[in-house]
Amino acid sequence: MKNKKPYKPRSYLISWNVGLAVFSMMGTIRMASEFFFVLSTRDFKDSVCLAINPTDISALWACLFVVSKVFELVDTLFLILKKKPVIFLHWYHHAIVLVYCWHSAIMLTAASRWFIMMNYAVHSVMYTYYGLTAYGLRFPKLISMSITTLQTVQMIVGVYISCYVALVKWYYHDVCHQSDSNLLFCFGIYLSFAVLFMNFFIKSYLSKGALKKKDT
């Protein structure tokens, strides 16, 4: 494998990314109706503390979201076939999200309404970008910077929601549909993701090496 030339699965890569982009867009649309209905008819606390109605169509798309995390591991396979470096952020993110999503599904975590909605929306943009670049289109660096910024903001919002739920449960002793174990797990991974994505942003776009590469 080491001495073999990198495999270039261009057509498969395009199809894969376009497929995930379309799936994410459909998930965003399906989750958005329930998400914004809750925000408009209830308060913020209910949006993070009351679980999704299992009879609502958004519950199906929440389940599909969890299952999709298994298939997203194919992203790593493409990197290996192309002999691209699999950085820590990539494999850690895919592995830990897979575990957390299944844990949240079992625990019927209410805050997943936010996490799933954000992830579907960000992935709609991200996989569209990946599909277009796999096709051969090139974009200004501002586009990839914007996508990384969206990912980072997603993680920061995740940290905020975790802190909010902790306040509701442990300070006000109010009802919130998220187990203590899931909450601690959630806070830990979102905090680590926020730090890792900010570090990735700095190294990729703000470091001396990145700025020098931009100038040349």
Burial 173-193 (b: 16+ CB within 10 A, else e): eeebbbbeebbebbbebbbbb
The two tokens of residue 202 are: 């700095």
Give the span between the Cα atoms of 108 and 128, in whole angstroms: 30
C-alpha gyration radius of the chain: 19
Residue of 93, 94, 123, 177 marked catalytic: 93
Report CA torsion sign: 182, 185, 189, 190: positive
CB 110 within 8 A of CB 50: yes
Give the span between the Cα atoms of 1 and 24, in whole angstroms: 33
93 as an active site residue: the answer is: yes
Instruction: Give me the residue label for tokens 């009802």.
Output: 175
Please count the CA atoms within 13 angstroms of the CA of 164 that sit on its side-chain side: 16
Give the span between the Cα atoms of 200 and 155, in whole angstroms: 13
Active site residues: 93
